[in-house]
Structure 1
Amino acid sequence: MKALGKLAAVSLTTLLAVTACGGGETPVAQGPQPLRMTIWTSNEAHLKLFNEIADEYRKAHPNVGSITFDTIPFENYTTTITTQIAGGKAPDLAWILESSAPDFVGSGALAPLNSKIENAAELVPSTTKLWQRDGELYAYPFSTSPFGMFVNTDLVKAAKQKFPQELIKAGQWDWEHVSKVNAAVAKDGKQGMTILDFDYKGWDNLATVWGGWGAKAYSDDGKSCQFNSPEMVEAMTFLHTSIFKDKAMPGPGTVADFFAGDSAMVIAQISRAAMLKEGTFDWDLVPLPSGPKGKYAVIGQAGIGVLKKSPNAELATDFLTFFTNPANSAKLAAYFPPARSSLLTADTMAKTNPLLKPDQLQQVVIDGIETGVVKPSHTGQAELAQTIRAALDPLWTADADVKTVLDGVCAKIQPMLGA
């Protein structure tokens, strides 16, 4: 399986290019045609909403058969799609992660959408940049979601620490104070802070921390490794100290589910609020703590694209048009911050986000979209991601030399950056 994953990662761009231009004319199918869209979420509330929208579409389109939302685990998501493409079983539509956007958009594998999206003029420009090439939109920016900090205020109170709102008012909502709060909770018998989908594998999620130091994975032109920059060394040293010395974060191999009440804080996006069960514990959602470089925001994005070589590409594009129209975008905004300017107000989003208060939506989501930086992405990101992950493995031991490990990351990936 590891060999298959490596092959899929290495050949992602090649496979997408083949998907874009290979093959002959697809025979015209008879009868209602099924559609399949790959997604990473398995959340029941998300799936319920997706299926409701699909059912509404099918009522008016008898030429469309079943519409299946195919859940693929997040950690293997892009690799699995790549393998499906290689095996001639590409989906009709795909939920594309920001990390692989350059490959999907640049390959020509996706159908153009500019003339298909309803009221496309109201899409906020910052949300479409990653999904465009030469002025054409190749995936709809389905979710532009800044990361925030969910806090179990019951655990904070039990550890006799200040609540996030108190620290914010005192101008102390920063990584130094947050680490102390989490360390105190850990001493009290629970875990401190976790980063959702990190688990010492998804290193790109660490951008939600290192952004506070002004660190980044690659130079702006994508040609230089920045993992051993002074800013990154300082940020990663902070993380290493938090994990192995202060115990403010659970170490490798420790499972701590914030949504089950196991940890004090988790960095996540608002879509994960659906995982909070009423009455389990009191909680808050606040912006990411400020770092040495001040306040910052980090955005995770997902686009939905239509595979050009799908035998049902035209139907799939029409369904995507319906799925993302203003009315359905308003429904989806309950979990996935929209790209439409008409919906990006605290009052509007509060109507579909009953778990979140208007000020939480304003501070974390709306302000975050205006100022945030998207998580790392690069052409060939799948191969880069695996290489970086392996090169970072030595960092997750108590006696690691942070600078030496980060120098090793750059030694591995610099030849891959095309400089």
Structure 2
Amino acid sequence: MNTQRQQRTRKFAALAATGLLALTACGGGDGSGSDDGPVNLRMTVWSGAPEHLKLLNGIADAYRKTHPEVKSIKFDVLPVENYTETLTTQMAGGKAPDLAWIFENSAADFVSSGALKEVKDDPDVLPAAKKIWQQDGKLYAYPFSTSPFGVFVNLDMLKKAGQPAPAELIKQGKWNWDEVDTIGAAVHAKTGKTGMVIRDFDYKAWDNLATYWDGWGAQAWSADGKTCGFDKPQMVAAMTSLHKAIFDDEAMLAPGTTADFFAGESAMTVTQMSRASLLTDKFKWDFVPLPEGPEGKYAVIGQAGIAVLAKSKHADAAAGFQAYLTNKENSAKLGAYFPQARSSQLNAATLAKSNAKLSEKQLDDVVVDGIKNGKVKPVHIGQAEIYASVRSGLDALWKPNADVQKVLTGVCNSIKPQLEQ
């Protein structure tokens, strides 16, 4: 094991002591991968949506018909808000699952630490989609969800507030964050509802703000991960605009409040296509790309990988199921909720077969184009520690009279030692 990897593993183990990440040894498991006796597999997931679990259980049942040695496959739903912490706590306590969904923001830590078993590569998957799951030319998780962010729109609410539909603005070349600010403020003033919600941000999950600041060309840190980007002019401009939209114009969700778009409580929300499952016939809606920023069009991707845990007692059997779950046939099924970055499936016509709620145009404009051109949310070694520092540093920004430059400079001062390690 080289020196760099030793350093990463020690860092990962140190974080385990805080309960944020967990790994206690460089190779992960006991190395046996023994599948002697009855095999009962457990896979941790973050979604308990009935339609998601129905799909996964259906694939698992089909697999078990041809693999009688696998007696059961359980999908263990962990709360999304502390998913990684719960998973790594299980690992530290000797109760690691056999397989797990891994979020993109912790990919670098899991991959570099030895916590995951190498999985078979697939040339059909786009190289860019595999990047954060690779090390030394080997793949350690299959990127089962490469999902661009878009904007769901309540057309009825916009009409009630006398505001144009985004589709009209797109045709005019005017679908941008300034227009979103104007629309959101009008919605709030005329209906009392919230204009725009960046879903799952909730003034905690700051990396979801990449869906906003990327429009200014801002970044959390440099490409090599060593230089903080929060205090740079692009980020200051983006956060100043966001702060104005929240506190001055009341166009976006305010701190300490909630507004569920799918319950009809906001006019717009930034999220991914998997949330379409929450739509009902309560109101007319649309799904459109992210608004343009000063730097023009852009796309942001949220990603998750399916991995086999090296500490699994049934690593070989788990690898067999992982390969089956992510083959071309099942990838097409998963694509109903979790966009697949497969060359053979990356077209609107194919996606439409498993996405009845979204039109081919919506799929092409948001999903296909986003996967081809989008950038994954911020990823860094030691993400849990950095994540906590940034979140704490940004707390001072979510006040009406915050000094944006001062707050962002403070964030960089806080994480600079961590970035330079």
TM-score band by shorter chain is over 0.9
- Residue in structure 1 matching 2:175, options 173, 176, 179: 173
- 1:54 maps to what in 2? 60
Specify whether residues 140 and 216 from structure 1 end up closer, same or farther in structure 2 by C-alpha distance, changes over 3 A only.
same
Say if 2:143 and 2:303, in contact at 8 Å, map to a contact too.
Answer: yes
- 2:239 maps to what in 1? 236
Say if 2:16 and 2:23, in contact at 8 Å, map to a contact too.
Answer: no
- 1:3 maps to what in 2? none
CA shift for structure 1 position 24: 7.0
TM-score by length of 1: 0.94
Count of residue pairs the alignment pairs up: 407
Specify whether residues 12 and 398 from structure 1 end up closer, same or farther in structure 2 by C-alpha distance, changes over 3 A only.
closer
CA shift for structure 1 position 189: 1.6
- 2:211 maps to what in 1? 208
Distance in 2 between the 1:253 and 1:111 partners? Answer: 41
Unaligned 5+ residue runs, structure 1? Answer: 1-5
**1:13-412 → structure 2 map (5 Å cutoff):** 15-16=22-23, 18=25, 20-21=27-28, 23=30, 25=32, 29-30=36-37, 32-114=38-120, 120-187=122-189, 188-277=191-280, 279-412=281-414
RMSD between aligned alpha carbons?
Answer: 1.6
- 2:6 maps to what in 1? none
Specify whether residues 348 and 23 from structure 1 end up closer, same or farther in structure 2 by C-alpha distance, changes over 3 A only.
closer
Distance in 2 between the 1:37 and 1:310 partners? Answer: 10
Give CA-to-partner distance per residue, 1:34-91, whole Å, 9 cap, x none.
Answer: 1111111111111110111111111111111221111111110111111111100011
In structure 2, give the amino acid aligned to 1:16. Answer: L
Distance in 1 between the 2:18 and 2:386 partners? Answer: 9
CA shift for structure 1 position 134: 1.2
In structure 2, give the amino acid aligned to 1:198. Answer: F
Say if 2:29 and 2:312, in contact at 8 Å, map to a contact too.
Answer: no
In structure 1, give the amino acid aligned to 2:247. Answer: F
Distance in 1 between the 2:52 and 2:298 partners? Answer: 28
Say if 1:8 and 1:82, in contact at 8 Å, map to a contact too.
Answer: yes
In structure 2, give the amino acid aligned to 1:333. Answer: G
Say if 1:192 and 1:248, in contact at 8 Å, map to a contact too.
Answer: yes
Unaligned 5+ residue runs, structure 2? Answer: 1-13
Say if 2:148 and 2:366, in contact at 8 Å, map to a contact too.
Answer: yes
CA shift for structure 1 position 323: 0.4
Secondary structure of the corresponding residue to residue 84 of structure 1 = helix
Distance in 2 between the 1:141 and 1:167 partners? Answer: 34
CA shift for structure 1 position 9: 8.0
In structure 2, give the amino acid aligned to 1:355. Answer: K
Distance in 1 between the 2:386 and 2:33 partners? Answer: 34
TM-score by length of 2: 0.94
CA shift for structure 1 position 200: 0.4
CA shift for structure 1 position 16: 2.9
Give the share of equivalent positions with the same residue, in percent.
58
CA shift for structure 1 position 20: 2.7
